[in-house]
Chain A
Amino acid sequence: MHSAFSASSAELRAQLTTAHARTAPSSDAALTALAALDPAAIAAWLLALDSDEAAAVPRARVARLAASVAESIAASPTIVPVTTAVDIIERYGHLLSPEAAKDLAFAARTVDDDQGLAVALDGALERAPANGGLLRAAADIAAARGEHSRAHDLLSRLARAEPTLATMQYVRGARSRLPRSGAQPVRIALLSSFTIDSLVPFVDLECRSIRLEPEIHVAPFNTWERESHGDGSSVHRFDPHIAFLSVAVDDLLPGLSTCSPRDLASDGAAAVDRLLEAAARFVSWSPAVLVVHGLHTAFRDPLGPAGSRHGPSRSEVMASLNGRLAEGLRALPRAYWLDMTEVLVRRRSGAIDNPKMRHLASMRIGEHALGEVAAAYLQFIAPLTGRTRKCIVLDLDNTLWGGIVGEDGPHGIRLGATSPGSEFREFQEYLLALSRRGVLLAINSKNNAADALEVIRSHESMVLRENAFSAMRINWESKASNMIALAEELNLGLDSFVFLDDSEKERALIRQALPQVLTPELPRDPARYRETVEALAELHVLTITDEDHSRTRQYIERREREQLRVVAQTPDEYLESLEIRAEIGTASDRTLPRVQQLFQRTNQFNLTGRRYELGVLAAKAAQSDWRIYTAQVSDRFGDHGLVATALVRMSTDAWLIDNFVMSCRVIGYGVEDALLAQIGADALAARAERLDGEIIASAKNAPARDFYSRNHFTRDADRDDGEWWRHTLTGEPIAPPHWIRTRSLNGA
């Protein structure tokens, strides 16, 4: 086909060498012909262009030539020196198709040193961050060079850039050849009536996005009922932290399409009960959290639009069966219902079902829906692994309202019932709903405080008023220093924060300065703010307690207490003026979820860092030699709720504190000393001789480390298996703080 052009290679090359031709060669056709005929010459020409000249050549032409050269080099790498291929990637890699970029990069690899290629790929990736070919090559080279965490990052980016089944499996395969990342491990079991293997790489990717190292076990095909028995089953041996059970409604009810809605109601109830029996069996032996898929079907109702005219339609029957399933699971410990209908309507594109794959491979969830299902799983996995963040820190201008209050004025900003402005109202309403279930809200804004407060206090469409925020920093300081101040005021770690700001620059600054803060991308369109925050798995919890509902109020009361501290003459006078009352009791069914939450979430005042599953705590609470102490605290400003708990093993001669945690909200009030004093008094009354405890230092529990030493405990010199402390009960008693009125409900 090259013969179609009359010019010879030599003539074309001559054209290129003239100064004029360097930026404006005679024709596209001639260049394309030369690229195929003599790729080395075109490569040399491309590399000889300086950046101004390159900018003068139409981008599409450069891209076409670079692609042609890349293809030729990939097919026979010896036509140019390796350095030329590397240079092409460095300068033009971002213009290549993923396929061409990958082929060229692999052709440019050398046995001994890929440093130059790695740098070239980095440069190209800066300009084309989502080019799958560049990402594949860069990940492969990072892995070969032993840069494992970088390889993991690049593979995650590749999976996000090309979320197809093939790429997801490639990424998972490439990771399996890397050493473990050292991140917190989590074991996940998948039990299913259909082929669920294709979901595995999606769950893997989601877990890694919140710094977990997942181990995922898929139970053998359609063994969910057998596996639920435990006893030597593969899931039993695997010992998961969390298990997902997905049973397709057409596997449960093979006659789904042909039976009448009335038969569906009765057969369906029996089928749901089969699922519930399996779930009940599972939680009877496994301490894992169990998540059961709700029923959904991709098939349309054969009765069509007339279905609902003649009694309950199939959809209505399915909804009531799902209700029966959810209710049954609610009655079991650690069991959750996953609303599949809700998960599946949320996906952006693609069918719920791929009929071909259903028949060919027994898949029941189409490949386009797998990402959404995995994202839904993460909303359970994140809170289970302690990833829950407690506080959303918000910018104001163009984040909570449209426009800039300092320029547009309190009445010029966009916030109201119609667009532009209704987007922000909807976003605020969602944030308010989050705060009502325990997520704290705070402000970090560059503004004149008076302007901003005027909007917050008086704008008629403002949803979030002053009392919705547990802390505010509205000033001209850097946002990073404000963030640190907020962490101090709220007594939270920076890793408890999510930061939402419309400014790309501010987000970049916070990511750079405070990587512990989760700073998600916020879309340009405020209409999409809400769904962005909805999708953050790290804001979710598995149980919502009484304390969650009133958390914001408690922080505001805390602010009032701090104001009192300023006017008090001495610390003692301040503490006395608070009129603190502590009710000390043992955990009940009602308070166990809060106790579990405290063990799970507390990082600072946490003596040993041991966390317990709800099932473990329930079992301990029922045993006569264990006791779970709780302290409910209130003062003149309000109720703190259940803020401290201790798990104690009671032997005849000594009581042992397995772990003792206290919410950071009440650090500094002496509540921990009051609880310890009560445990000591109870142990003495039970005629024990000693109270023992252990301290396991962590990066965060400095506030707890002197707990035993300042309460008449002595270090146990006989033990070298950690830091052990003992207190002789017949000696000097542990004194409760004189400013706390303690009431014991144990009667011990």
Chain B
Amino acid sequence: MAPESLLARMFGLPRRSITDATSNATVAAWDSLAHVTLILELEEAYGISFAAEETLSMTDVGSIKRVLRSHGVEWDEA
């Protein structure tokens, strides 16, 4: 599953509205609790574990994808 799909589901947004620029500044529901939840969801979905520093930087979709790739995660671009 693409990380965009996961975000779309979590925040109830259309899949196609999610771009690399989508961030905690552009999505109102992406508050600090949602951020922790997002980290949990990503770890569960891809079976990985982020370092604390990484979780702090993952505040937009582009950064999330960068960190995921650095963990060797791949997904189909739909």
**Interface positions of A (Cβ within 8 A of B):** 71, 74-75, 99, 102-103, 106, 136, 140, 164-166, 169-170, 173-174, 195, 197-198, 354, 356-357, 359-361, 363, 367
Contact = CB atoms under 8 A, between A and B. Distances in A.
A359 B52 contact: yes
A166 B38 contact: yes
A216 to B, nearest CB: 13
Q: Is the interface of B mostly helix, strand, loop or mixed?
A: helix
Contacts of B40: 164-166, 354, 357, 367
Contacts of A363: 36
Contact of B78 (A74, A165, A170, A173): A74
Contacts of A102: 9
A174 B9 CA distance: 12
17 contacts: A102-B9, A103-B15, A106-B14, A136-B12, A140-B12, A165-B40, A169-B33, A169-B37, A195-B33, A198-B36, A354-B40, A356-B49, A357-B40, A359-B52, A360-B52, A361-B32, A367-B40
B9 to A, nearest CB: 7
Nearest to A71: B78
Nearest to A139: B12
Contacts of B44: 164
A106 B33 contact: no
Interface in B15-48: 15, 29, 32-34, 36-41, 44
Contact of A174 (B12, B36, B38): B12
Given A106-B15, A356-B49, A99 B5 contact: yes
A360 B15 contact: no
Nearest to A363: B36
A412 B1 CA distance: 55
Interface string B44-60: 10000100100100000
Interface size of B as a range: 20 to 34
B12 A170 contact: yes
A173 B36 contact: no
A103 B17 CA distance: 12
**The 3 residue pairs across chains A and B that have the minimum distance between CB atoms:** A361-B36, A165-B37, A166-B10
B15 A74 contact: yes
Most buried by B among A74, A102, A361: A361
A99 B15 CA distance: 11
A169 B44 CA distance: 17
Interface of B: 1, 5, 9-12, 14-15, 29, 32-34, 36-41, 44, 49, 52, 55, 78
Contact of A99 (B1, B11, B32): B1
Q: Is the interface of A mostly helix, strand, loop or mixed?
A: helix
A514 B9 CA distance: 37
A103 B5 contact: yes
Contact of B37 (A75, A99, A136, A166): A166
Contacts of A103: 5, 15
A99 B33 contact: no
A524 to B, nearest CB: 30
Most buried by B among A74, A99, A166, A354: A166
Given A99-B1, A360-B52, A173 B37 contact: no
Contact of B36 (A71, A99, A136, A357): A357
A197 B33 contact: yes
B78 A75 contact: yes
A198 B33 CA distance: 7
A169 B32 CA distance: 12
Contact of B10 (A74, A75, A170): A170
Nearest to A162: B9
Contacts of B36: 198, 357, 360-361, 363
A583 B34 CA distance: 60
Nearest to B15: A103
Contacts of A166: 9-10, 37-38, 40-41
Most buried by B among A71, A106, A165: A165
A169 B15 CA distance: 18
A360 B39 contact: yes
A211 B74 CA distance: 44
B41 A164 contact: yes
Contacts of A197: 33
Given A173-B29, A359-B52, A99 B12 contact: no
A102 to B, nearest CB: 7
B58 to A, nearest CB: 12
Contacts of A169: 10, 29, 33-34, 37
Given A136-B9, A170-B10, A197-B33, A360 B55 contact: yes
Nearest to A132: B9
Contacts of B10: 166, 169-170
Most buried by B among A106, A140, A363: A106
A102 B12 CA distance: 10
Nearest to B52: A360
Nearest to B13: A106
Contacts of B38: 166
